[in-house]
Amino acid sequence: MRPSLPPFLLILLLLFFPTITSSVSLPQPPTPSPTSSPSPTKTPPSSSSSSSSPSTLDPKQLRALQSLNIPTSTDPCSPSSSRNATICDSSKPFRHIVSLRLSNCSSYVALSYTALKSLSTLQSLQLLNCPVPPIRFPPELIASLRSFTCINSLHKVSGTWLSRLENLTDLTVSDVLIKASGPYVILGHMNKLKSLTISRANLSGSLPRYIHSNLSHIDFSGNQLKGSIPPSVTMLDSLEFLNLSSNALHGEIPASIGNLISLQNLSLASNSFSGSIPASISAIPDLVHLDLSSNQLNGTIPKFISEMKSLRYLNLANNNLHGVVPFNLSFVKKLAVLKMGGNSNLCYNHSVLSSKLKLGIAPCDKYGMPMSPPPSKDSYADDSSDYDDSDEDDDKHKKEHHHGPNKYPKSKSKPYSKPLSALF
Ligand SMILES: *[C@@H]1O[C@H](CO)[C@@H](O)[C@H](O)[C@H]1NC(C)=O
Ligand SMILES: *[C@@H]1O[C@H](CO)[C@@H](O)[C@H](O)[C@H]1NC(C)=O
Ligand SMILES: *[C@@H]1O[C@H](CO)[C@@H](O)[C@H](O)[C@H]1NC(C)=O
Ligand SMILES: *[C@@H]1O[C@H](CO)[C@@H](O)[C@H](O)[C@H]1NC(C)=O
Ligand SMILES: *[C@@H]1O[C@H](CO)[C@@H](O)[C@H](O)[C@H]1NC(C)=O
Ligand SMILES: *[C@@H]1O[C@H](CO)[C@@H](O)[C@H](O)[C@H]1NC(C)=O
Ligand SMILES: *[C@@H]1O[C@H](CO)[C@@H](O)[C@H](O)[C@H]1NC(C)=O
Ligand SMILES: *[C@@H]1O[C@H](CO)[C@@H](O)[C@H](O)[C@H]1NC(C)=O
Ligand SMILES: *[C@@H]1O[C@H](CO)[C@@H](O)[C@H](O)[C@H]1NC(C)=O
Ligand SMILES: *[C@@H]1O[C@H](CO)[C@@H](O)[C@H](O)[C@H]1NC(C)=O
């Protein structure tokens, strides 16, 4: 419901009389609804109506919003007018802002210490496409802030700058350059974090050896992280989401990853993990999404994966896996996405699975080796020198092709000399 006209005007008068400028545009008057009381629309606000109207925003905070170029021509506390760029509490006599989102800032907006100090009631601050220079946050704001989101904003931030935000439960920094020698610099004192995203931030260093155990969401995708997954990862038993994709991580996937009993989505894609897929992954009861693509994983696919009841997305493409795929038709049909292409020694049993499923891999011969599509040769031993494409594989090529040829950097280590993309 739109507010009735008198309190609306009253808010405007209260808000703008002291600070009115030529740039403030008046809002559209609310269209009177036919069912509303037939009061004359031009009545000036009476003092009696002020007691029933919601209290207005703290004038200090209103000035701070104006300094940040937030439109204040309508009450910033009214959900309909602000598109939730601002959310207020309901305190009296003045309301205070608890959540602020700055998006698509114009180039002349600057965060000022004074403005942020006035806004120290904020629990949530979001900066989206706001390339303003970072400034030191006032201690009052640091104490109250619970959620900080910075996407493609602030020219560049340092790990120590972020590390001061100790009371955060949610931290999201994406498409921002972070200068820090490792995640531990940022996270050292953030003991209340529940959700952590630092993605496409060129973050270097290695995964923290110890990370406190209440986190439910970790996304470090698209950074420069090196080293291996520490065995202490098993402490994260509240973790539901882990995305470490597109880093430079290596080593084996620790078998202890199976102890992440709350995990639902796991991506280790586009790293340099080697060794085999630990069968313990299949012990994660609620795992829905598993992406291990574009690594150097070898060995066979653990057959226990086909017993994972919740799994809907499985991507094992572009590894060095070999052998007969241990999946039957009912498992494959249950999945929304299954990708296995780019594993040149992996094949499917054509009496169990059909080529119509377009699995991206060749059928097996009777020895469990990928069949050369023109299966005329008796010997499979020289497959490696003469693997060729068939019409059938052209079909499969379509399914995997959107990865683009640049996603197959590991093809050099494969026994076949043809470009991998020709194998689909
Ligand atoms: C604004 O926030 C309220 C409560 O948080 C939510 O119900 C509403 O959908 C939001 N509106 C918009 C436009 O985001
Ligand atoms: C910011 O800009 C993007 C793209 O220019 C646009 O899609 C988005 O709606 C804008 N957001 C706001 C809050 O104006
Ligand atoms: C975090 O919040 C608590 C109370 O909510 C406060 O006592 C403490 O000083 C805050 N921490 C920082 C670093 O501001
Ligand atoms: C990203 O980090 C690397 C060091 O890990 C550094 O050499 C490079 O300059 C950084 N890139 C940018 C754009 O800052
Ligand atoms: C984890 O959360 C529980 C309850 O939510 C809380 O009691 C405990 O102190 C938290 N631990 C840490 C290290 O924050
Ligand atoms: C992990 O992050 C990448 C890049 O940000 C994204 O494309 C992918 O969908 C994410 N995976 C999951 C499981 O969310
Ligand atoms: C898998 O790779 C590891 C090291 O990357 C190697 O030690 C092991 O022998 C390989 N196993 C197979 C079956 O190729
Ligand atoms: C987890 O994976 C499922 C299945 O792929 C997907 O629908 C869902 O959006 C993912 N969740 C998150 C938080 O990315
Ligand atoms: C498919 O495999 C699963 C797990 O191995 C098994 O439980 C199920 O009975 C199999 N279904 C058929 C039709 O063979
Ligand atoms: C393919 O499946 C059939 C029927 O289950 C089985 O007899 C045969 O040994 C399997 N072939 C290979 C190469 O695993």
Q: What integer is the mean pLDDT of 383-400?
A: 36
Does the structure show a pLDDT above 50 at 406? no
Can you give the pLDDT at residue 50?
Answer: 37
Residue 138 near residue 117 (C-beta atoms within 8 A) = yes
CA of 313 to the centre of ligand 8 (A): 9
Q: How far apart are CA 319 and CA 325, in angstroms?
A: 14
The amino acid present at 47, given as its one-letter code, is S
**Pocket-testing residue among 146, 191, 214, 215, ligand 5, by greatest number of atoms within 8 A of Cβ:** 214
Give all domains of the chain, ordered by start, each with its CATH number. Answer: 122-374+383-423 (3.80.10.10)
Least confidently predicted of 2-6, 46-50, 60-64, 125-129? 46-50
Tokens found for residue 183: 């995640």
CA of 215 to the centre of ligand 7 (A): 33
Which of 66, 167, 185 lies closest to 125 in space, CA to CA? 167
The amino acid present at 320, given as its one-letter code, is N
Distances in whole angstroms, Cα of residue 299 to Cα of each of 274, 322, 383, 397, 413 = 10, 6, 19, 24, 15
Q: Evaluate if pTM is beyond 0.85.
A: no
Q: What does the pLDDT look like over 197-217, one tens digit per residue?
A: 999 999 999 999 888 779 999
What is the residue with the minimal CA distance to atom 13 of ligand 2? 103
Cis peptide before 93 (omega within 30 of 0): yes
Q: How far apart are CA 86 and CA 70, in angstroms?
A: 9
Tokens found for residue 373: 């599509």
CA of 217 to the centre of ligand 8 (A): 12
Distances in whole angstroms, Cα of residue 258 to Cα of each of 216, 229, 301, 399 = 16, 13, 16, 30
Comparison of pLDDT for 138 and 374, the residue scoring more: 138
Sheet with 272-275, strands from edge to edge, namely: 226-227, 248-252, 272-275, 296-297
CA of 262 to the centre of ligand 2 (A): 35
Strands 362-363 and 345-348: what pairing? Answer: parallel
Query: Is the CB–ligand 4 distance for residue 177 below 6 Å?
Result: yes
**Pocket-testing residue among 74, 80, 84, ligand 1, by greatest number of atoms within 8 A of Cβ:** 84
Helix (H, G, I), strand (E, B) or coil at 49: helix
Phi and psi at residue 418, to the nearest 5°: -70, 155
Q: What does the pLDDT look like over 74-88, one tens digit per residue?
A: 778 876 655 678 888
- Averaged pLDDT score across all residues of the chain: 78
Q: Where are the alpha helices (DSSP H) in 303-386?
A: 329-334, 383-386
Q: What does the pLDDT look like over 125-184, one tens digit per residue?
A: 999 999 888 889 999 999 999 999 999 999 889 999 999 999 999 999 999 999 999 999
Strands 86-88 and 97-103: what pairing? Answer: antiparallel
Q: How many CA atoms lie within 13 A of 69 on its CB side?
A: 13
DSSP 329: H
| Secondary structure (DSSP) of 127-189 | EES--PPP-PPPHHHHHH--EEEEES-SSEEEHHHHHT-TT-SEEEEESSEEE-S-HHHHHTT
Can you give the pLDDT at residue 71?
Answer: 77
